[in-house]
A = this chain, B = another copy of it.
């Protein structure tokens, strides 16, 4: 039975809920498919999340493994495939507590970075789950700055092997998901040395656990990094390598190869690697960032309809808290943002699919722009959605603070999106670097990529709004944000030049402008969002 306060609110909707649902899903057929997936998953007791907040970390890990294994059976039973229309709804319906997500990243990195021979060897093994893969990039002392990774892979021509080592504690791999307890293999990023010369970071397939008894392989020390703010079900791990020998064939060699005699050969372009990171940043927005905000809005707004507190009018029943202006001011902007981001996300996905096609045709022209766009949008959207979920949580008072409301775990999980796949401040600075470069180019009369042509069209002048009503026009905001974006970019560019001309070294000058640069990058993305 539906709470009568909820039922009465629903009757007042001025639109067709079913039509809006279809619009959000992308058509009635999509809605049908989504509902079928949700129904199949929610009715399956193995996928139940009913007791998750009462489980220990270990119980949650075990449940996540159980679900991952059961999912394979379920997909087979339901006829769902990784390329089928149901696939994108599965993980959304499971709502997160599933193990082996890094297995997919392991496979993707082999597909993208591996030679045809490597793909032919490893992908079938992974597909049949004859091994469990992970992805070991981040180290205890190194995250964003990939060049700073310290793990070494020294080529030994005598044995045709690479010898992998963790030279010091800060070089220990730290954070890789599924690696603390589950993974048998991982892709290790390490500094390649041949005959004493360093060739920079390269990816290596390393077996870390026995396929017979799951014990750690010789030279491997690995385990769980301990509890985090969320992701209790994931065995984020650490990994220490001591003289671990792997065959020469285990260096992923689509783009770079070490020949038997130690000759280093670079083949093709490595730019495609960066594009993979770029697409990951965009692809996480939907499930990891927008869905949590949508859920938080739904929970908080429904709660605000059924919760009554104080009297708006003397002598009446206590009022629904949604009827208070302060509650509306908290929640309605988050709801509006959820809709706005949903449609922006559709646009971004399309843009990146287009970019991907171009790149497959060996046209890399869009790369810098796509990198800047993905970095900036990831930072701005994760930041906004995280703040939105927190507002929803607080707007539910004490009940929002109970884990059973679902809001605390939505918050503690979405918060991580501001940090992973590129910490937001670093990403905004990368966006800013692109903006400054384009602004300089535009000023010098050179062509600039489509998303930043506005930088060339510097407008002076005042806000065209003349009265209150003008502020209801979206154009006013678009123009205002364009103005702010251009102004912040140009004034920071000018400050940078002034500093350099006054004798400050380029890198110092850059550091002295980074607060402004971050601001310019944010506003430039907000301008593109509206």
Contact = CB atoms under 8 A, between A and B. Distances in A.
A500 to B, nearest CB: 14
Contacts of A168: none
Contacts of A145: 309-311, 318
Contact of A514 (B308, B326, B507): B326
A130 interface: no
A408 B225 CA distance: 15
B394 A148 contact: no
A518 interface: yes
A425 B326 contact: yes
A403 B227 contact: yes
B314 A398 contact: no
Contact of A408 (B144, B229, B402): B229
A425 B331 CA distance: 13
Interface residues of A, number: 60
A401 B229 CA distance: 6
Contacts of A15: none
A162 to B, nearest CB: 25
Interface string A383-405: 00000000000100110111110
Given A397-B423, A402-B226, A309 B412 contact: no
A514 B318 contact: no
Interface stretch (A39-47, A99-107, A135-143, A244-252): A135-143
A148 B418 contact: no
Interface in A488-511: 505, 507-508, 511
B412 A394 contact: no
- 3 closest cross-chain pairs (CB), A and B: A229-B408, A145-B310, A227-B403
Given A53-B226, A326-B514, 10 more contacts: A54-B57, A145-B310, A229-B412, A313-B505, A313-B508, A324-B511, A325-B511, A326-B429, A330-B425, A398-B419
15 contacts: A141-B308, A145-B309, A145-B310, A145-B318, A226-B402, A312-B507, A313-B508, A325-B515, A326-B429, A326-B514, A330-B425, A394-B415, A394-B419, A397-B419, A401-B416
